[in-house]
Amino acid sequence: MNKEFEHLIGLSQLNQDISEIKPQISNHEKVLKKSANKIENIKNDIETTKENIVNTQQNVSKNNTHLKDLSTQLKDITKKSKKAKTQKEVNAVQIEEDIAKSSISFTNDEITRLQNIIELKKSQNKEKQEELKIEKKLFDKLSKSIKGEIKELNTKINEIKKQKTALAKYVDKKLLNFYENIQRWAKETAVVKVKNKACYGCFMKISNKTYNLLKLGNDINVCDSCGRIIYIEKNID
């Protein structure tokens, strides 16, 4: 195998190394994003509950106004009952009074029910605030360590890129262009081994003619099926 081709294999290996690091970075970013989303969801929950409390409080106010009206109504009825003369009139006023009283009792119950809801929502929000504090702390901790790891991985990538630039100098420009064209679609498998007479990019058998050329190892060879650059590893068939 000629030296230049060995450099190309090295270059291809370095590209593979980079392609293995990149998913690690995006995995880290996903973890961080997940934690940030959790915080966002809790904040949204708190806001929704706050709006809910305000709405319920308005509802309580409405019921209180209604209660005032009802008690004025009841006073009027009481006045009327004093003026009632016949039994029929007394009965009629009695019915009015019963209705007003039951409305008052119903409205009072409704206010109590709404106030209970408000208390429940307030205590839920208190819990959510605690949860938010914990999540924020977790995020800060996570963010510190993950950002450090991402930085390390990016440093690794930059080092590999430097090695690539250094190595590329030893590879003929034409060959480099050829490789880069294949790399565009084959990504990190632009240069692959041949094992058991099969291309390790597309896993198709290669022709005897190509295989014999490969064994001579003088030239750059490509797979008959997929067009990737192929080579035979030393001491391996």
Q: Is 92 or 202 the residue whose CB approaches Zn ion more closely?
A: 202
As given in the structure block, the two tokens for residue 65 are: 């106004």
Residue 199 C-beta: closest distance to Zn ion, Å:
3
| Distance between first and last Cα of the chain | 14
Q: Is 84 or 198 the residue whose CB approaches Zn ion more closely?
A: 198
DSSP 12-24: HHHHHHHHHHHHH
Residue 221 C-beta: closest distance to Zn ion, Å:
11
Spatial contact of 7 and 220, defined as CB atoms under 8 Å apart: no
Which residues here bind Zn ion, judged by CB under 5 A? 199, 201-202, 223, 225-226
Spatial contact of 56 and 125, defined as CB atoms under 8 Å apart: no
Q: Is 171 or 223 the residue whose CB approaches Zn ion more closely?
A: 223
Residue 226 C-beta: closest distance to Zn ion, Å:
3
Q: Is 156 or 205 the residue whose CB approaches Zn ion more closely?
A: 205
Q: Find where tokens 């360590």 sit.
A: 145
Residue 171 C-beta: closest distance to Zn ion, Å:
21
Half-sphere exposure for 220 (CA within 13 Å, toward CB): 19
DSSP 65-124: HHHHHHHHHHHHHHHHHHH--SHHHHHHHHHHHHHHHHHHHHHHHHHHHHHHHHHHHHHH
Q: Is 73 or 225 the residue whose CB approaches Zn ion more closely?
A: 225
Residue 42 C-beta: closest distance to Zn ion, Å:
51
